[in-house]
């Protein structure tokens, strides 16, 4: 399992997925495939065969008017339990915990400075 408190995943939210894929393919050498569930809107970037990041249309998760940006996820040992501490420390839950099959349990949160991020308890990989 991923270590609690470490960055686990990043997603590029962009208005031009194909341009982003071409850029990172040309400059970094990433290759791409859609999610195994067949979602044509979610691309996984691979480096030497290992998943590195997601690339999604800006409209998929970001609020209207948001600029292109990277969105980060922290691995936490128990997302539901950690949300209690988040509230106590002045954070805000933007999206209640939800499960992504084969990925993990995720909540979208905001720290007291106003910065959003994802907290997730990843599924254990074999």
Instruction: Give 7-122's CATH code, choosing from 3.20.20.210, 3.90.1580.10, 1.10.510.10, 3.10.180.10.
Output: 3.10.180.10
Task: Please provide the average confidence, as pLDDT, over all residues in the chain.
Answer: 93
More confident residue, 102 or 31: 31
Does residue 38 carry a pLDDT above 80? no
Taking the CB of residue 74, how many other CB atoms lie within 10 A of it? Answer: 18
- Quote the CA–CA distance of 95 and 101 in Å, as a whole number: 17
Question: Model's pTM, two decimal places?
Answer: 0.86
Across-strand partners of 34?
43
**DSSP assignment letter at 87:** H
Listed residue (68, 72, 73) closest to 17, CA to CA: 68
- From residue 9, give the alpha-carbon distance in Å to each of 6, 65, 87, 89, 90: 9, 24, 23, 24, 24
Every domain of the chain and the residues it spans: 7-122
Lowest mean pLDDT segment, chosen from 27-31, 58-62, 80-84 = 58-62
CA distance 62 to 99: 19
Name residues whose C-beta falls within 8 Å of residue 9's C-beta, 6 or more positions apart in sequence.
53, 54, 72, 73, 118, 120
Q: What is the mean pLDDT of residues 64-93?
A: 96
Q: What is the mean pLDDT of residues 43-65?
A: 92
Give the model's pLDDT for residue 40: 79
Q: 93-105 burial string, b = 16+ CB within 10 Å, else e?
A: eeeebeeeeeebb
Alpha-helical runs (H) found in the chain: 17-27, 58-61, 79-88
pLDDT at 126 over 70: no
The answer on pLDDT for 60 being more than 80 is yes
Q: How confident is the model at residue 2 (pLDDT cuts 50, 70, 90)?
A: confident
């Amino acid at each position: 399992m991923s270590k609690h408190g470490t960055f686990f995943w990043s997603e590029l939210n962009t208005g031009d997925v194909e341009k982003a894929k071409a850029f990172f393919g040309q400059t970094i050498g990433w290759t791409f495939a859609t999610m195994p569930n067949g979602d044509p809107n979610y691309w996984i970037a691979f480096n030497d065969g290992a998943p590195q990041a997601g690339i999604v249309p800006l409209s998929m998760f970001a609020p209207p008017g948001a600029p292109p940006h990277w969105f980060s996820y922290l691995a936490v040992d128990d997302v539901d339990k950690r949300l209690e501490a988040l509230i106590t420390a002045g954070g805000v839950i933007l999206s209640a915990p939800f499960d992504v099959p084969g990925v993990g349990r995720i909540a979208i949160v905001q720290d007291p400075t106003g910065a959003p991020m994802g907290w997730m308890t990843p599924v254990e990989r074999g």
